[in-house]
Homo-oligomer: A and B are copies of this chain.
Amino acid sequence: MKALVLFSGGLDSTTCLALAIDKYGAENVLALSISYGQKHTKEIEAAKAVAAYYGVKLQTLDLAAIFADSDCSLLKGSTEEIPKESYAEQLTKTDGKPVSTYVPFRNGLFLSSAASVALSHGCEVIYYGAHADDAAGNAYPDCSVDFNDAMHDAIYIGSGQQLQVVAPFVECNKADVVAMGLRLHAPYHLTWSCYEGGDKPCGLCGTCRDRAAAFAANGITDPAIN
């Protein structure tokens, strides 16, 4: 294996996977999907479908125990409702703190787990799909350029210079991500982004709104909605 892709089955990480496969070939790419106690399993099902589409090896990990005491609204154990507003609207009420769907240090934990797995498989690089829209206004501080730079350094140094982190979209918005995925013919029809676990995406949560806007900016309808 050459590259490990942190892969949720959503739009951003599917684009990341498409990029890594384009560069390294499917046989050299390992996809890693991590459960963290979220309220539904739609993302993992989507991840399996996309991995099968590409013929890449998919490894899964369950790290829900780490978040057992968190009250993040995405998690099964939480009684908090998932907000039906855009991130910008939510941020007017958080007093500078992350939004309620911020899972504590999730991206740091995922990247670190990815580093341990990647080193065990001889990978040289980890890809992940953080982008600028999620980092805006400190909604998800673990998607920012500064966070990414620090995690890259930690993983490069802490692995004895064996492993690098690539976040190809860290300075792009979600519309740019979709534009790149469309060029690569990413199988967006198989992906799942919605925070709710309904039969169809709710269309109202922060990530549904962002996703719809990104497709609209590219002049097409979301192929996962029919």
Contact = CB atoms under 8 A, between A and B. Distances in A.
- Copies of this protein in the assembly total 2
Interface in A114-145: 115-117, 119-121, 138, 141-142, 144
A155 interface: yes
A158 B111 CA distance: 12
Which among A97, A117, A144, A160 has the greatest number of chain B C-beta atoms within 10 A?
A160
Interface in A65-123: 65-71, 96-98, 102-109, 111-113, 115-117, 119-121
Interface string A158-191: 1111110000000000000000000000000000
Contacts of A163: 105
A31 to B, nearest CB: 15
Interface residues of A, number: 48
* Chain A interface mostly: helix
A153 B155 contact: no
B160 A150 contact: no
B119 A112 contact: no
Contacts of A116: 66-67, 70, 103-106, 108-109
A144 B121 contact: no
Contacts of A24: none
A159 to B, nearest CB: 6
Nearest to A144: B157
A147 interface: yes
Contact of A158 (B62, B147, B160): B147
A160 B62 CA distance: 25
A215 to B, nearest CB: 29
Contact of A69 (B69, B108, B115, B121): B121
A160 B98 contact: yes
Given A119-B104, A150-B150, A113 B66 contact: yes
Of all A-B residue pairs in the complex, the 6 with the closest CB atoms, nearest first, are A104-B119, A150-B154, A142-B158, A150-B153, A112-B112, A105-B115
Interface of A: 61-63, 65-71, 96-98, 102-109, 111-113, 115-117, 119-121, 138, 141-142, 144, 146-147, 150-151, 153-155, 157-163
